Amino acid sequence: MDFLALATKYLHPDLTGKYIHLNTITPVMNSFADQFEVKVIGQSVLQKEIYQVKIGSGKTKILIWSQMHGNEPTTTKGLFDFFNFLASDTELAHQIKSNYTLLCIPMLNPDGAFAYTRENANGIDLNRDAVAETQPEMQLLKRTYEQFKPDYCYNLHDQRTIFGTEGFNSPATISFLAPAFDAACQYNSTRMKAVEIIVAMVEVLESYLPHQIGRFDDAYNVNCTGDYFTTQQTPTILFEAGHYPNDYNRDESRKFVFIALVASFLRQNENVVVDNDLTKYLRIPQNNKCFFDIIYRNIKIIDNNVEKIINFAAQYREEVIAGKVKFRAVISKISDLDHYFGHVEYDCESLLFSSNGKPYPILGEEATFDLNNSIQFNNGLKII
């Protein structure tokens, strides 16, 4: 099966870019109401509707939620692409719907999604509220969990462009984690069920993303939703959608979320754990903070009348302007950068730096400058 062609075919055209909020998804969600059960199940801090989409009638129950961090929309787009596929008349779609019952909360944090913030309207990270349960959104998720009694949980997120795969100079385009259930990060039967599904997804994805699949840090924190549900003996899988080359709007990355979702339902014997699954899981390269958006190498500066050759890096800050996410390249590190990679890199060949009369870069300022008073860089990128 050509999974990438399938992902491209069912990519929902009404959800693009990085600013995905309640007003964006509601008409799309309602378009599925004649095939799936779509209903409001609660409200956010600011009284915004939180929806549930129920699909299928199978024995195995999966609880899926996305965008509990409001500025992490890629998995939401991938989830709607998956809805689009399940609404089709294909044999595989019918098979999934007959074997599984899916209960999906496509946007747990609508306030954060509109404000384009990680936290909810009270400034709380919902993914650290699993035990305290102080926020209405987390109360709703846990109530849904207790009523539905899922066999598995899928916790869908985005990760920053800083992550690569350990041992490779490749971005971590998608990463997974079977969350720990104790501080020793041991593997019990519950965690191993999550490991099995992750291995199945990676086996499908690796032909499309060589060296671009990561394993997320499993440091235990029971306040995190995935760790909490694992301690409740429900296998939980963390999905982290990351950077794909030249895809800052993540309309390519979403395809790999879709592929992962489809692949996760292809293995039917959920309770059978293959002996070498843990070995395969631990071979997935760990996420490594080894990337910047842009790196400039071999820049000449003048510091106290002394010429020096330096390297520096810029990272994009994301801001919503006129209903779209804009990317502003900000100088974020000045050092040798020997162990870092840039999604874009420039060898500046010892040319002299200048920015608004300043002879050296300054942390926190926009990466707009020129070299030798002739080669210009605007918002991080070279003007050609």
pLDDT of 270 > 60? The answer is: no
* pLDDT surpassing 60 at residue 268: no
Cβ burial of 225 (10 Å; 0-12, 13-18, 19+) is buried
Spatial separation of the C-alpha atoms in residues 19 and 143, rounded to whole Å: 28
Burial class (CB in 10 A: 0-12, 13-18, 19+), 204: middle
Query: How much is the average pLDDT of 117-133?
Result: 98
Kindly report the pTM of this predicted structure: 0.96
By three-state DSSP, how is residue 192 classified?
A: helix
Residues 336, 296 contacting (CB under 8 angstroms): no
- Going by their DSSP bridges, the two strands 174-177 and 213-215 should be labelled as parallel
**Which CATH superfamily is 291-382 part of?**
Urease, subunit C, domain 1 (2.30.40.10)
User: Helices (DSSP H) in 163-224: which residue ranges?
Assistant: 189-205
Residue burial 349-370, b: 16+ Cβ < 10 Å; e: rest: eebbbbbeeeebbeeeebbbbb
Contact call for residues 183 and 175 (beta carbons, < 8 A): no
Domain ranges of the chain: 3-289, 291-382
- Structure tokens given for 184: 């020793």
- Residue 273, pLDDT > 70, answer no
384: confidence class by pLDDT, cuts 50, 70, 90: confident
Q: Residue 274: is its pLDDT beyond 70?
A: no
Region 105-127 average pLDDT: 98
Supply the pLDDT for residue 288. Answer: 95
Task: Judge whether residue 329 has pLDDT over 90.
Answer: yes
DSSP per-residue letters across 231-280: HTT--EEEEEE---TT-TT-TTHHHHHHHHHHHHTT---TT---TTHHHH
Per-residue pLDDT tens over the stretch 214-228: 999 999 999 999 999
Average model confidence (pLDDT) for the chain?
Answer: 96
- Homologous superfamily assigned to 3-289: Zn peptidases (3.40.630.10)
- The two domains 3-289 and 291-382 share their CATH topology (first three levels equal): no
